[in-house]
Structure 1
Amino acid sequence: MEKPTKSLDAEFFNEMYQRNEDPWDFENSPYEREKYEATLRAIPNPVYDNAFEIGCSNGVLSEKLARRCKHLLAVDASEIATENARKRLVDFQSVEVREMIVPNNFPNENFDLILFSEVGYFLSREDLAITKDKMINALLPKGHLLMVHWTPIVEEFPLTGDEVHELFIESAGNEKSDPLIHLYGRREDQYRLDLFEKKPEL
């Protein structure tokens, strides 16, 4: 099977959530539970003023993340997923859930934390590059960007988790033109995690 070259659209995800409200078993999977714990441990600051979660799905991780954010914007491409997330997060006044497809839509805000988890490989290489630039521009100086992605190859996804992360690694370095610093990387059997910090403005 030849991998797709275009980003997967909202219809793809809505059809998936119509078949199963929790298609990746976020609620009960030991794998997801361990990965969430690793994700939260990797976030450096105890509290963030304004965080942005891209690909919130049904809000299981959003609920954990919200406890460390004064404001959290959680978005997903699926109408069904965002509705489920709103129900889950109804008691968290600091959380705003929006239906949003990146990079076509992107918030006009700045963030001190951006979480990009299990969504990058749904994008084409071109759309991922655009998303990366928008994320970096939206990130405040010394703000953190945390990425977590499944690494095994999935034929129906345009990219692999490693391809997603390596594109961001290319923007992290010692050159003045490199906007990011790579703070931390971790690789497990089925996922990788990378933490970046935006360089302070000169």
Structure 2
Amino acid sequence: MNAAATQSLFDPLFAQSPDPWHFEGSWYEARKRGLLLASLPRLRYASAFEPGCAGGFVSEHLARRCDRLLAWDGAARAVAHAARRLQNQPGAQAAHGWVPDQWPEGAFDLIVLGELLYYLDEPGIERLAQRCRATLLASAHGATLAACHWLHPFEGFPLGGARVHDLLQEHLQIPRIAQWRDADFCLDVWSTDPQSVAQREGRRL
């Protein structure tokens, strides 16, 4: 799916509501977001990239952990909602863009892929993984990628969460340092530094 198709699919949803998937007030979403944030192996990052940011519900929390955050979405209305959510976050920016056909300039030591990869085909996921790998390896030691996706099937998108994470694992070729599965979603974290948090702090294991 390209940026134009994305905008035609999602802009009508965001025209009706800034929260078409009912993130606000959902314990499921709050819990998932909390697990994602807690899984990041570093307290702070210099520069984060979040493609497919939707209305910015995760973005506003990521911004508190980063000196700079670039949040992208292929739907213009989603970008507008995310920009309003980020307006009081120094260093955070929402902009229009759709991966993997487009990719931002600059270095990023954190990339977050949330509920995004179903909308790409397998070659698109491979290309995205290659872009992520190149960016992370060119960044500071300990650069991180976190991905979180719904596990249940949904109509029109045959690649489910488990499959897209398998494809990331295959093509990233970076150590996976954390993994979570429950009945509803999968969460995986990869890092160019395979040390655990306890090891970096010099704690006895």
Please indicate, yes or no, whether the TM-score normalized by the shorter chain is above 0.5. Answer: yes
1:195 match:
189
Is 1:184 paired with 2:178?
A: yes
Whether 1:93 and 2:90 are equivalent positions in the alignment is yes
Offset, 1:33: 0.6
CA positional deviation for 1:162:
0.9
Separation (CA, whole Å) in 1 of partners of 2:187 and 2:58:
15
- 1:135 matches 2:132: yes
SS at structure 2 position matched to 1:71: strand
Q: Provide the residue aligned with 1:144 in structure 2.
A: 144
Q: Distance in 2 between matches of 1:59 and 1:153?
A: 24
The CA deviation at 1:94 is 0.9
Tell me if 1:47 matches 2:41. Answer: no
Report the equivalent of 1:59: 56
- Contact 1:51–1:113 (CA<8 Å) still a contact in 2? yes
Between the aligned residues of both structures, percent identity stands at 32
In the TM superposition, 1:1-202 aligns within 5 A as 6=1, 9-139=6-136, 140=139, 141-171=141-171, 178=173, 180-198=174-192
How far the C-alpha of 1:199 sits from its partner, in A, is 6.1
Structure 2, unpaired ranges of 5+: 195-205
Query: Across the two proteins, how many residue pairs are aligned to each other?
Result: 189
Do the aligned partners of 1:50 and 1:69 also contact (CA within 8 Å) in 2? yes
Match of 2:198 in 1: none
Retained in 1: the 8 A contact 2:71–2:95? yes
- Does the CA contact (< 8 Å) of 1:123 and 1:158 recur in 2? no
- 56-65 vs 14-23, which deviates more? 14-23
Partner SS for 1:170: helix
Scaled by the length of structure 1, what TM-score is found? 0.88
In structure 1, C-alpha distance between the alignment counterparts of 2:59 and 2:162, rounded to whole Å: 24
* Offset at residue 171 of structure 1 (A): 3.6
8 Å Cα contact 1:117/1:149 also seen in 2: yes
Q: Distance in 1 between matches of 2:134 and 2:29?
A: 30
SS of equivalent residue, structure 1 residue 186: strand
TM-score under structure 2 length normalisation: 0.87
Shift of 1:131: 0.9
The answer to whether the Cα contact below 8 Å between 1:10 and 1:101 also exists between their aligned partners in 2 is no
Provide the secondary structure at the position in 2 that maps to 1:50: strand
Residue identity in the other structure for 2:45: Y
What does the per-residue CA deviation read over 1:154-183, in whole Å, with 9 as the maximum and x for residues that have no partner?
Answer: 1222421111100112246xxxxx3x0010
1:73/1:96 contact within 8 Å kept: yes
How large is the Cα RMSD of the aligned pairs?
A: 1.6
Q: Which has the higher contact order (CA 8 A, sep 6+)?
A: 1
Where is the helix percentage greater, Structure 1 or Structure 2? 2
Residue 198 (structure 1) shift: 2.6
Amino acid at match of 1:188: D
